[in-house]
Amino acid sequence: MDESRRATLIEAAGRWGTPLYVTDLDAAVANAQAWRDALPGALVAYAVKANPDPALLRRLADEGFGFEVVGPVELSLARRAGATSDRIVVNGVGAGDAHLADALAGGALVNAESLSALDALLLAGKGRIGLRLNPSIAAATHPHLATGAAASKFGIALDELPEAVHRLARAGRAPASLGAHIGSDIHDAGPFGGLAELLAGLAAKSDVAQIDLGGGYAGPLDAWVDAVAPHIPETERLVVEPGRSIVADAGWLLTRVVRVQARGHLIADAGMTELVRPMLYGATHPVELLEPGAGLPRGEAWTLSGPICEAGDILARNLDLGPTAGEGALLAIGQAGAYGAAMASNYNGRLRPAQAVIEGGEVRLSRRRETLEDLTARDLTEG
């Protein structure tokens, strides 16, 4: 980490305390632009679930990117950020009829993930209906992140596709798009090449122009393009839904060490309620010392643990942050821009952290820290 970045993160922690999420908007836009440059004419629809920071969504909307949303709240957030309906893609295996109807009426591309959802969309009226398939492709990733396997809950099964096309045709409609999402945090581009080959063949049979390859790729972008291009050379046909690849390396979780257990634990003021990925997925995140604290015994490999009453509340293992990473030390947990703040919870009565953004070298608050009043605002008094 360069000294300018270090100084900015230290400033942010000093102004708004810890735990604190910080997202670099310029870095996120640069990552999104790399997708747009690699796929001229494609719809690059940022997956809002990765990080719904309002300043980030506004900046991406201003830059002309699209949004992939799951559920009515994310749809509202995308609209609130200024996204135009023609650049919104709606997914969701459990989407309710009312949400599907609202999204369709608003002009978004709405993907049916089951025959039942397709029937609800056909009843809802005019609009762009896509079909999101289960491609029966098992990519190498954590089991919780694998969405394209045949046994997963996601998407219309391949043997159901003819029936889905028939139901559309019976209503005088045709699929606006064929797509699938095979999972997240996938480093091998090969399965995306297989997905592109499958969808291109199916789209040709059904005379569908637009192909949605989802998101989830975590490797070098040029390898993804090399895998996909032989099957879909016309990039203007494509919809892609990157999330993690846009924001993961553009975000940090800042935390302070509040206690030291001499048996090898640095206890931080952030834990699984702020960053659940290590516990949920076995994810690893780099940790860097920003400001020194009290001294530590030498020669010890430390575990960075959170304050939550769970033995699994561990953020990182086998750390060697130097002899000054004791109580009061300020740490930056990297690669935390995706599925960090978005998955924060109130477990153990925790208040969700504030969020700040960096833009043009300046840092500002984007979302304030949650308060007890926020947490209890929905409580109903007796009588």
- Residues 185 and 325: their CA atoms lie apart, in Å, by 30
Measured from the Cβ of residue 45, the count of other Cβ atoms closer than 10 Å reads 28
* Amino acid (1-letter code) at residue 149: A
Please indicate whether residue 309 is annotated as part of the active site: yes
Report the alpha-carbon distance of residue 281 to residue 244 in Å, rounded.
Answer: 14
Helix (DSSP H) and strand (DSSP E) numbers for the chain: 12, 18
CA 168 to chain centroid, in Å, comes to: 31
DSSP codes, 310-337: -TT-EEEEEE---TT-STT-EEEE-S-S
Catalytic, out of 309, 311, 372, 377: 309
Establish whether the linkage from the previous residue to 19 is cis, with ω within 30° of 0. yes
For residue 354, the cross-strand partners are 20
For residue 153, count CB atoms less than 10 angstroms from its CB and return exposed for 0-12, middle for 13-18, buried for 19 or more.
exposed
Angle at CA of residue 92, ends 87 and 97, nearest 5°: 95
Q: Which amino acid is at 29?
A: V
Show the tokens assigned to 348: 């153990």
Pairing verdict, β 128-134 and 177-179: parallel
* Short-list 188, 120, 183, 105, CA closest to 150: 183
Give buried/exposed letters for 365-381 (b at 16+ CB in 10 A, else e).
Answer: ebbeeeeeeeeeeeeee
What is the token pair recorded at 372?
């007890």
Residues that are catalytic = 309
